[in-house]
A = this chain, B = another copy of it.
Amino acid sequence: MNGAESLLAAARDAGVAVCFANPGTTELPLVEAFDSVGGIRTVLGLAEGVVTGAADGYARMAGRPAMTLLHLGPGFANGIANLHNARRARTPVINVIGEHATWHQAADPPLAADIDSLARPVSGWVGRTSGAAAAASEFLDARQAALRDRMPATLIAAADHMWDDGGETAAVPPEPAPAAVDRHRVAGIAKLLAGPGRPALLLGGAALGADGIRLGARIAAVTGGDVFAERNPARIERGPDVPAVRSLPYFPEDTLTALQDYTHLVLVGTGIPVAFFGYRGQPSVPVPEHVQVHTLADLDEDAVDALGAVADATGATSVEPPVRERPALRSPRGELHAKAVAIAIALSQPDRSIIVNEGVTAAAAYPAVASAAPAHTELGLTGGAIGMGIPVATGAALACPDRPVINLQADGSAAYTVQGLWTQARERLDVTTVICANSRYRILEAELGRAGVREPGPAATGMTDLGAPAVDWVALATGFGVPAVRATTGEELTAALENAYAEPGPHLVEAVLP
């Protein structure tokens, strides 16, 4: 057994079932070992942004760490942006990066680079193999770190350590559990909520599962407050049996308004709200001064357990959570706009769909109409690094082959990682990509307007307009092996969606927006 075989045997024994990969020469001992060890499905991405984004989507849905295999510093670098999103989503990802043979590194060959410096900004743990004998245990160290830190961990595996004989087996340690919340803190929050004032509960992380949302809604029903979801959650459950929660808005002035009428803000599995960008005259932390901020559970603590304890203490456990009526939406007709796309999806999506929302400016419309949809899971753009939608949808579909995946996708962002469509075709995944084709970086136009630019000049226009030439998304999808159609009206969009859900395998619908 060589080092590569011992590493992959440990990965398999630790429950790694899929490895997302784009290997090169330094990873070939591992490529060979996938065949000799067995038990791990390899999924190829045509660029590393696809690989790492798919790993993020897979782990968010599978509830276990994802593995990637990447080629040296430059190959890893191509995957950093989606690992940044994974870090912000608190997704455990185990990256294995092939490195030059140890005796070759001093020669500074062309592909040599400071991998550690590249890896640290997106990894809670960065390590290097020390030899074939320790490769398995070092992989398990990375896995343990990814689970403990809830973020990517990166193991840099030298080629000679992988091809050398002498690999040893290693025992898989138990998964670390989230820390329990201190009961005194629970009692204090329960007392606070039962007292005077109007509290807002801000849920994030695991608290946005169905159990957490139901507990939050029960508590709010008893204590007279409201429940909010953090902006851009990694994963949130919705459906007829899950009370609707408001999302915190994007711009800080809107968040200030949303929180204006509360006396307390209780954080549950999330941190204090932070403005996405710093704006002149707006605060970094958009919480009104009169609002007192408390933490029930921080990001490392068991937020659902804490909510259960607060529900017990406030008498909320026996209360039925309020059920918001499903809004009566009409199927969109005529020319498309962002909200019409969101409504068409909400009204047509099959039960238990997974919605990957990288709509950017179109994304905001979906949560507002999602309570009209059957039960579903939504995955969001956590870290703001665009290009996550197509890859995350790919990984989610691999994690949940029995659930339809719908990717509500901005066009500017889709262009970043459009190569992911090929992996969807290759793996025959049930993903429907809906491109919101407005042929512009609409968010930048909006930001220019906020900055007081009424009539952008040619340079500014040239850097926000994607219309000359307009990208033909049907052609791109076809080129990567995904059947595609264009929709210009609500009727066409609904028909295209229903066809896509009915046929197995991936589809793309280009929704042409004005």
Contact = CB atoms under 8 A, between A and B. Distances in A.
A476 B419 CA distance: 10
Contact of A385 (B32, B111, B476): B111
A154 B11 CA distance: 38
A480 to B, nearest CB: 6
Contacts of A25: 277, 443-444, 447
Interface band, chain A? 35 or more
A185 to B, nearest CB: 23
B121 A460 contact: no
B32 A453 contact: yes
A217 interface: no
A117 B121 contact: yes
This protein's copies in its complex: 2
Contacts of A359: none
A501 interface: no
Nearest to A425: B469
Given A81-B78, A84-B113, A462 B44 contact: yes
Contacts of A284: 103-104, 106-107, 109
Contacts of A23: 444, 463
Interface string A97-109: 0001101101111
Interface in A62-101: 73-75, 77-78, 80-81, 84-85, 88, 100-101
A479 interface: yes
Contacts of A159: 277-278
A110 B384 CA distance: 6
Nearest to A447: B25
A442 to B, nearest CB: 12
Given A25-B447, A32-B456, A44-B463, 4 more contacts: A84-B113, A159-B277, A422-B469, A476-B479
